[in-house]
Chain A
Amino acid sequence: MRIAVIEDNEPLADAVANALRDRGYAVDLLSDGLEAEEFLCESGADLAIMDVNLPGQSGFELLRNIRRCGATWPILMLTARGETADRIAGLDAGADDYLVKPFEMSELLARVRALGRRRGGQTALQEKVGPLKFDRAGRRLYSPDGPLELSRREISLFAALSERSGRIVSKNELADAVYGVGAEVEENAVELLVSRLRRKLRAVGVEIRTARGLGYLLDAEAE
């Protein structure tokens, strides 16, 4: 996967590029808003990570301009702290996600994985989720000892949780993902489903954690 990183803070850009390259992504580094527009409109990318404050033109202008020249691939915006209005403007302008600086590298990598999955075509590959491998298209989950026996709903639940790995997923979001948007589902139906999947995953070293009142978190790095 080819990722464009547009960031004028050189040490930060280098660190992000290195972290991404270490995980096998190809990285194009750009530091100027106008140059980045030219490059992205010509060569494209599979995903772009861009700062809001850029020389040449702001990240928002860049975002609008590359959407205009036909870019449909996901874009992750990096914003400085406390710019709520900026966040909203960024998402309105067509960013798929945003991350507030300073961020943890693991958080950035998780977002990149999640955005990469949204991109069609990539999903044929098997994703690594901790010790497990997940075939999103084939809807099968493999432990090192072989495929796990999961129901259709349990697989949907796992897919929803892993898509937002590292983040809390609310019961409502899970209900929508498993039963369809707007379906009339009892809350404890989701709870029951989660506890069943939790039991099965715990055996292979993956934990579903509960934050009461908020939702669930897939913790693949448990143990």
Chain B
Amino acid sequence: MTTKAAATSNRPSVRSPNRRRVLGGSLRRRIFLVLAPGLIIIATVVTALRYVAAERTAEQLFDRTLLAVAHAVSRDVVLSKGDVVTEALLKSLTSSLGDNVYYHVRGPRGEFVTGFASPPIGPRGLSPPSEAPLFYNGTHYGAPIRAVALREHIADPLIGGWVTVTVWQTTRRREAMSIQLALWSAGQMFGVIGAAGFILWFGVAWALRPLNSLREAVEIRSLDDLSPIKRPAPKEARSLVAAMNSLFRRQAASLAARDALISNAAHQLRNPIASLQAQAEAAASAPDEPTLRLRVDALAAAARRAGRLTKQLLSMELASTRQVQLDDKIDLVAVARRAAEARAPEALGKDIEYSFNIEGAPRPIAGDELMLYEAVENLIDNALKYGAGAPIRVIVAFDKARARVVVENDGPPVPKNLRERIFERFVRDAPEDHRGCGLGLAIVREIALAHGGGAACLNRTSGAAFEISLPR
């Protein structure tokens, strides 16, 4: 069944719309969905940080210039004796700074000396408290500005004393510059992300290519091809491939066994059916009644053999396909006793000494009653067929580890080289005799294995003994 599903899976099934496409459908999509948001978040944070940094840099740069201008203005004022700063200086300042520059100079007693009449008012009033330059933000006629206020001592007879110079500048250009810087950096980041995404999208596809090759390897398989997949698999998929190969191997083994069973079964059934036909025809041409009775008896015996064989084939089928129910605790002694009782009349009728014994303390075991009955009956059947009329003992034994059913007889021992092979299907001690069909012990083993136990031909110095052992 599994083979069929694996080998005939349709090509487009992976993309079928009723799958959960987002997460279940594609590994590539999964990887992409995990990585892309992360990248975008990182890029956004980096861009924001760069914007802040750019703004700070620009501020420092402009502040330094503003301070230089303030110093220049104060010198100029001294040189021109309180006159207006030369137009040339102002023009050159404006063109180098980009934004308009304004200044205001105030004398030691607070009197206006030169410059624009109304300077922006700083956080500490019109005069900074110390000699250190004071930078501040403000507005001037509605426009945002950056200002510096500076106190300088001028040794001049006219305006001698502490002079306050305030220089300010609109910050439009500066703002524009930081925004520009931030935009560039954002552009770079998203360019890098785009490139990474592109590489990721195609790189993942490339990385996953070995999986596609595996899929093809499975797809092109015919139904009977159960050889292992030999294509190289990436490390991550190796265990999957190993599991599949192991499944293929087991499937192949089971199919081979089944094929062998069917072909053997057909072969085995041919014999009894041929003899049925021959004996029926012989009966039809019997010259007198006693002969007829003899031939019909032979016919009945042949039919019995054919019946036994089909029954065994069914048991085999049952043993190998039935899901053994191990949940139930069953009474192994009762099961073995029923099987022993069922075959007792036949044994006693042939004057075979026949006994049933219990060893150890019986306890319930987990098992399938029907299957275990079948197994025990098969062992007894075996002893009846091949035991040459020697005593048969059925023993149910319990010890600490296991429960066992042993069927032993004092008949001919099983040759050493056959003790294991005899459990294979259609292997018999004497292939030329037609008493058995070679399935009984195979069934026994199959059932024992299904119970997690085992079946074995015991090593005895005389006679033959077979054992089913079941775990606790």
A interface vs B, CB < 8 Å?
81-82, 84, 102, 104, 166-168, 209-215, 217, 219, 221
Can you name 17 A-B pairs with beta carbons within 8 Å? A81-B314, A84-B369, A102-B307, A166-B345, A168-B344, A209-B348, A209-B351, A211-B344, A211-B355, A212-B354, A213-B357, A213-B394, A214-B340, A214-B341, A217-B344, A217-B348, A221-B349
- Name the interface residues of B267-325: CB closer than 8 Å to any CB of A: 304, 307, 311, 314-315, 318
In the complex, what residues of A have CB within 8 A of residue B340's CB?
211, 213-214
Q: How far is the CA of A217 from the CA of B348 in the complex (A)?
A: 8
* B347, CB-defined interface residue at 8 Å: yes
Contact B318 A211 (CB under 8 A): no
Known: A81-B314, A82-B314. A214 touches B345 (CB 8 A): no
Contact A211 B356 (CB under 8 A): yes
Q: Is the interface of B mostly helix, strand, loop or mixed?
A: helix
Contact B355 A219 (CB under 8 A): no
Could you tell me the distance in whole angstroms from the C-beta of B421 to the nearest C-beta in chain A? 28
* Interface hub of A84, A167, A168, A210 (most chain B Cβ within 10 A): A168
Contact of A213 among B348, B355, B370 (CB under 8 A): B355
Q: How far is the CA of A202 from the CA of B75 in the complex (A)?
A: 153
Contact B314 A212 (CB under 8 A): no
Could you tell me the distance in whole angstroms from the C-beta of A18 to the nearest C-beta in chain B? 12
Known: A168-B345, A211-B356. 8 other contacts (CB 8 A): A81-B315, A82-B314, A82-B318, A82-B370, A211-B348, A212-B354, A214-B355, A217-B348
Q: How far is the CA of A23 from the CA of B374 in the complex (A)?
A: 33
Contact of B311 among A102, A168, A209, A217 (CB under 8 A): A102
In the complex, what residues of A have CB within 8 A of residue B357's CB?
212-213
In the complex, what residues of A have CB within 8 A of residue B345's CB?
166-168, 217
- Name the interface residues of B376-423: CB closer than 8 Å to any CB of A: 394
Contact A211 B354 (CB under 8 A): yes
In the complex, what residues of B have CB within 8 A of residue A102's CB?
304, 307, 311
* B337, CB-defined interface residue at 8 Å: yes
In the complex, what residues of B have CB within 8 A of residue A219's CB?
348-349
* Tally of B interface residues using CB under 8 Å: 24
Q: How far is the CA of A215 from the CA of B314 in the complex (A)?
A: 31
Q: How far is the CA of A81 from the CA of B348 in the complex (A)?
A: 24
Contact A214 B370 (CB under 8 A): no
Known: A82-B314, A102-B311, A168-B341. A211 touches B347 (CB 8 A): yes
Q: How far is the CA of A217 from the CA of B356 in the complex (A)?
A: 14
* Interface hub of A81, A102, A213 (most chain B Cβ within 10 A): A213
Known: A82-B370, A168-B341, A219-B349. A213 touches B314 (CB 8 A): no
In the complex, what residues of B have CB within 8 A of residue A168's CB?
341, 344-345
Q: How far is the CA of A51 from the CA of B369 in the complex (A)?
A: 23
Interface string of B353-370 (1 = CB under 8 A from A): 011111000000000011
Q: How far is the CA of A84 from the CA of B341 in the complex (A)?
A: 17
Could you tell me the distance in whole angstroms from the C-beta of A183 to the nearest C-beta in chain B? 23
* Interface hub of B340, B344, B345 (most chain A Cβ within 10 A): B345
In the complex, what residues of A have CB within 8 A of residue B315's CB?
81-82
Q: How far is the CA of A166 from the CA of B346 in the complex (A)?
A: 9
Could you tell me the distance in whole angstroms from the C-beta of A108 to the nearest C-beta in chain B? 13
In the complex, what residues of B have CB within 8 A of residue A84's CB?
369-370
Contact A214 B337 (CB under 8 A): yes
Q: How far is the CA of A214 from the CA of B358 in the complex (A)?
A: 11
Q: How far is the CA of A211 from the CA of B318 in the complex (A)?
A: 30
Q: How far is the CA of A215 from the CA of B342 in the complex (A)?
A: 12
Contact of A212 among B311, B351, B355, B369 (CB under 8 A): B355
Q: How far is the CA of A168 from the CA of B341 in the complex (A)?
A: 6
Contact B344 A214 (CB under 8 A): yes
Q: How far is the CA of A210 from the CA of B356 in the complex (A)?
A: 11
Contact A212 B356 (CB under 8 A): yes
Interface string of B231-251 (1 = CB under 8 A from A): 000000000000000000000
Q: How far is the CA of A219 from the CA of B348 in the complex (A)?
A: 8
Residue of B nearest to A85 (CB): B370
In the complex, what residues of B have CB within 8 A of residue A217's CB?
344-345, 348
Q: How far is the CA of A84 from the CA of B373 in the complex (A)?
A: 11
In the complex, what residues of A have CB within 8 A of residue B358's CB?
213
In the complex, what residues of B have CB within 8 A of residue A210's CB?
348
Could you tell me the distance in whole angstroms from the C-beta of A170 to the nearest C-beta in chain B? 8
Residue of A nearest to B337 (CB): A214
Could you tell me the distance in whole angstroms from the C-beta of B405 to the nearest C-beta in chain A? 13
Q: How far is the CA of A215 from the CA of B341 in the complex (A)?
A: 9
In the complex, what residues of A have CB within 8 A of residue B349's CB?
209, 219, 221
Residue of A nearest to B314 (CB): A81
Residue of A nearest to B368 (CB): A84
Q: Which 7 A-B pairs have the closest CB atoms?
A: A213-B356, A212-B355, A209-B348, A102-B307, A211-B344, A168-B341, A168-B344
Q: How far is the CA of A110 from the CA of B394 in the complex (A)?
A: 26
In the complex, what residues of A have CB within 8 A of residue B369's CB?
84
In the complex, what residues of B have CB within 8 A of residue A215's CB?
341
Could you tell me the distance in whole angstroms from the C-beta of A73 to the nearest C-beta in chain B? 26
